């Protein structure tokens, strides 16, 4: 019976996931009429979100293949169109869950938020952030990454998506996905080799827009790659996301540890908690088994001790050794945790990601949306 086969085709299409929104195309109302003639040839109306949708070919192929794999279907025709403005408005309303446009990660959010900061540049903060995000996604978590280092954005290149552009659906921005991580960066909105030179209010509005207009969906973890130092963005994020937990990155050098302390203190002043220190570039293993400490030793422990209080001790989450593979992974856009998971640096990063991933999303202080009857 054609009607029964049409129902089976729709069931097959429910397994097709939009690669940007990460939800079934049937749930997103992208599938219109589905018909199957007496010969078993299926005809499917597919509506893409916008003209020039970057995922168009992938979605059309997946829809075709899912329908063709349905028992009883002998052929497939996919009729591709574009949503009307009213349909796009309905989609954004559905994605927001009927709520007005607001910041997605407010006090009631269950998303665990980690802000990765450092006292100075050049300590490998962005490289560690990118690798941590990918390692968490590899563990099955839903992960988002905001490149908040507006002046020195580097996350797109580190994740192999330099040149990628977000898709805009109405007032909603769909972030590109790299290695399972949803990513947004100011580098996706400016021309190549362009320097960003903005003052405080523009920086604040940019970060606020990232947290409001970019559709991340329901995330388990959101990572923020902060700029080094104690400037406007660190203060803005403290105001916008006071519940974020801060991780300070330093090198083993004593001078670097002293500077790293300042970024943690600024976070505390805005109400955020410092939950740990990561020591990067800790040492280079030699063929004879000895360790060459190019940048000294003890900086991570020193920074953690400086940031610890009797009420809240700050641990060293890990000490990441110098690694050529770690650097090469950043240059190639394939993080070392994927390219060389057995590399010593990757092993430490993955262990840090595991520890951060197993910290549950707490309910303390959050509204549950329940009321007594």
pLDDT, position 223: 97
Percent of the chain past pLDDT 70, that is, above it, reads: 91
| Range of weakest confidence among 136-145, 225-234, 246-255 | 225-234
Residue of 277, 279, 272, 211 whose CA lies nearest to 245: 272
pLDDT, position 354: 96
| Range of weakest confidence among 178-182, 195-199, 230-234, 335-339 | 195-199
How far is Cα 373 from Cα 360, in angstroms, rounded to an integer? 30
How far is Cα 202 from Cα 200, in angstroms, rounded to an integer? 6
Q: Using the predicted structure, report yes or no on whether residue 143 has a pLDDT greater than 90.
A: yes
Q: Using the predicted structure, report yes or no on whether residue 14 has a pLDDT greater than 80.
A: yes
Q: Using the predicted structure, report yes or no on whether residue 147 has a pLDDT greater than 70.
A: yes
pLDDT in tens, 236-292: 888 888 899 999 999 998 888 888 888 888 888 878 899 999 999 998 877 887 788
> Which residue has better confidence, 358 or 338?
338
Q: Is 59 helix (H, G, I), strand (E, B) or coil?
A: helix
| Helix and strand numbers, DSSP H then E, in the chain | 12, 15
Do 145 and 225 touch, CB atoms closer than 8 A? yes
pLDDT, position 13: 94
pLDDT, position 304: 92
How many angstroms separate the Cα of 12 from the Cα of each of 9, 20, 63, 79, 117? Answer: 5, 20, 9, 17, 45
pLDDT in tens, 154-207: 999 999 998 888 888 878 889 999 999 999 998 888 776 565 555 556 777 888
pLDDT, position 98: 66
Which 8-state DSSP code applies to residue 253? S
pLDDT in tens, 56-103: 889 999 999 999 999 999 999 999 999 888 888 888 888 877 666 777
Do 23 and 17 touch, CB atoms closer than 8 A? yes
Q: Using the predicted structure, report yes or no on whether residue 371 has a pLDDT greater than 60.
A: no
Q: Using the predicted structure, report yes or no on whether residue 364 has a pLDDT greater than 50.
A: no
How many angstroms separate the Cα of 273 from the Cα of each of 2, 194, 204? Answer: 60, 34, 21
pLDDT, position 1: 55
Do 317 and 352 touch, CB atoms closer than 8 A? yes
How far is Cα 238 from Cα 245, in angstroms, rounded to an integer? 10
Question: What mean pLDDT do residues 105-133 have?
Answer: 91
pLDDT, position 151: 79
Percent of the chain past pLDDT 90, that is, above it, reads: 49
Q: Is 35 helix (H, G, I), strand (E, B) or coil?
A: strand
Strands, sheet with 273-279, edge to edge from the N-terminal-most edge strand? 177-178, 181-185, 143-147, 221-225, 112-118, 245-250, 273-279, 316-319
Which 8-state DSSP code applies to residue 24? B
pLDDT, position 197: 56
How far is Cα 352 from Cα 319, in angstroms, rounded to an integer? 10
């Amino acid at each position: 019976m054609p009607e029964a086969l049409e129902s089976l085709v729709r069931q097959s299409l429910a397994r097709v996931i939009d690669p940007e929104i990460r939800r079934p195309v049937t749930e997103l109302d992208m599938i219109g009429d589905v018909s199957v003639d007496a010969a078993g040839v299926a005809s499917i109306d597919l509506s893409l979100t916008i003209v020039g949708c970057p995922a168009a070919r992938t979605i059309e192929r997946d829809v075709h293949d899912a329908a063709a794999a349905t028992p009883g279907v002998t052929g497939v025709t996919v009729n591709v169109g574009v949503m009307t403005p009213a349909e796009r408005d309905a989609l954004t309303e559905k994605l927001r869950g009927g709520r007005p446009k607001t910041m997605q990660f407010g006090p009631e959010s269950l998303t665990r938020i980690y802000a990765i900061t450092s006292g100075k540049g050049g300590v490998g903060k962005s490289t560690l952030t990118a690798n941590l995000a990918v390692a968490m996604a590899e563990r099955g978590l839903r992960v988002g990454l905001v490149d908040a280092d507006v002046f020195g954005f580097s996350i797109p290149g580190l994740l192999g998506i330099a040149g990628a552009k977000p898709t805009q659906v109405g007032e909603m921005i769909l972030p590109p996905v790299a290695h399972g991580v949803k990513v947004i960066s100011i580098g996706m909105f400016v021309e190549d080799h362009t320097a960003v030179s903005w003052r405080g209010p523009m920086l604040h509005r940019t970060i606020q827009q990232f947290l409001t207009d970019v559709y991340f969906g329901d995330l388990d973890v959101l990572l923020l790659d902060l700029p080094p130092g104690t400037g406007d963005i660190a203060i803005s994020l403290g105001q916008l996301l006071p519940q974020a937990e801060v991780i300070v990155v330093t090198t083993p050098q004593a001078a670097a540890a002293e500077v790293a302390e300042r970024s943690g203190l600024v976070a505390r002043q805005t109400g955020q908690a410092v939950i740990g220190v990561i020591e990067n570039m800790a040492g280079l293993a030699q063929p004879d088994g000895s360790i060459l400490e190019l940048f000294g030793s003890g900086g991570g422990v020193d920074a953690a001790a400086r940031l610890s209080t009797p009420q809240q001790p700050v641990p060293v989450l890990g000490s990441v050794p110098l690694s050529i593979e770690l650097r090469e992974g950043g240059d190639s856009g394939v993080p070392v945790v994927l390219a060389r998971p057995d590399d010593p640096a990757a092993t430490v990063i993955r262990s840090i990601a595991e520890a951060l991933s197993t910290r549950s999303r707490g309910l303390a202080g959050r509204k549950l949306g329940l009321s007594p009857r």
